Structure 1
């Protein structure tokens, strides 16, 4: 993500957890980034101060011009109202901008862990001792960190692509978004039966970390091909473009 974009997300309190972590790393290790962040804070503070002074001056002027409340409604001309309308428009814009859903909110609205369709695991039954059964049991139990390592080991031994897909899912469930993205991208090259599903979760991963343009590119492909979750992709795309 562009550093300037990250700074703006932080300043406007729009950053998700991943972006906040990236910000903390940069601000503690990159002196130029820290300087840019401070300059952005100073500019925003100056802008707010300037706008506040303008509004204060406007209200003082109105108060001094219309001290007689009985005459206020008659003397309030269109010329006097215009600054009020402009100020109200600015405030309304700020409120609307700040009320737009965050990346986390959008992601949480659309994300559902992909179910295990490989190994049949019945509740209450003894789990098999084989590594595959244990991996999918941990995946279903949302022990994603453990499942991630198990799928990695299985895929290295048995190069079946669906293990890579589930490893990516485990990374996503474990909130390791950078690993999930790399694994989904690798899985996309294999063109197996889970290809379309992998693409949907890749788009969601981009949404989560704030890579809006990349998410839109993936969603466009889903919609064009009318593949897995394409109707949800249409809705998500509309949300991202609002």
Structure 2
């Protein structure tokens, strides 16, 4: 598929599952494609910010004129109602993308998603260990996610609590969202290692699925109870609320 068409479909939120897989591969392996993506993303953000500022200025100007304009009694109610509506818009964090500037879920997801590094299993050169766990983590670190998940599935997550978390990560990379969600939720339910991190990734999945309320819920739990990615979570909450 044409790369320009891929970028167009990404920014219009119309990528198919097959196109998204190709898009992610290009983003990871094609430097020029990634540079073009970053350029268009920054340009889009700049345009959006300019439109936001212009719209806010117009609304504030309209509100000011209504406050100072002398109107007949018959139109007082309409003028007051319009002014009140504008005041509400400007006071409730009117930058509520959904009404004026659509919330770009794809952009929020791509800006904040980063695969969690392997911090649980040490891989060293010259290591003669050829265990299933080593094969799983070698494949995970090298981006061979199909092989990784085949080996992770053979491991007993009850014996090593972190396995479910990395399986979830791998499913996420394979775009098997439901499988990833189930495992992240299991990590939280079992109250084992990576509970905070699982809240973060469940929030990102919710953003990917445009489920704003679930995303807010996971982020609020993260901010309230944990320190992992707390500042990033607070920024995301500002965007979503």
TM-score by length of structure 1 reads 0.56
Residue aligning to 1:66: none
1:185 aligns with 2:185: yes
Structure 2 residue runs without a partner (length 5+) = 1-11, 21-94
1:155 aligns with 2:166: no
Taking the TM superposition and a 5 Å limit, the aligned residue runs for 1:30-69 are none
CA contact (8 A) 1:116 1:136 kept: yes
Q: How far is the alpha carbon of 1:98 from its aligned partner? A: 7.9
- Separation of aligned partners in 2, 1:191 and 1:234: 23
The alpha-carbon distance between structure 1 residues 120 and 212, as it changes in their structure 2 partners (threshold 3 A), is same
SS at match of 1:147: helix
Q: Deviations over 1:87-119 (max 9, x none)?
A: xxxxxx9x9968645222111100110000122
Q: How far is the alpha carbon of 1:225 from its aligned partner? A: 1.4
1:119 aligns with 2:126: no
CA contact (8 A) 1:199 1:222 kept: yes
CA contact (8 A) 1:203 1:214 kept: yes
Residue aligning to 2:232: 232
Higher relative contact order (CA 8 A, sep 6+): 1
Residue aligning to 1:107: 109
Structure having the larger proportion of residues in helix: 1
Residue aligning to 1:166: 166
- Separation of aligned partners in 1, 2:238 and 2:189: 27
Q: Deviations over 1:146-167 (max 9, x none)?
A: 21221121036x5322101110
Residue aligning to 1:135: 136
TM-score by length of structure 2 reads 0.57
Q: Deviations over 1:38-66 (max 9, x none)?
A: xxxxxxxxxxxxxxxxxxxxxxxxxxxxx
Q: How far is the alpha carbon of 1:192 from its aligned partner? A: 1.5
The alpha-carbon distance between structure 1 residues 96 and 132, as it changes in their structure 2 partners (threshold 3 A), is closer
Q: How far is the alpha carbon of 1:134 from its aligned partner? A: 0.4
Q: Which moved more, 1:178-187 or 1:147-156?
A: 147-156
SS at match of 2:121: coil
- Separation of aligned partners in 2, 1:234 and 1:17: 31
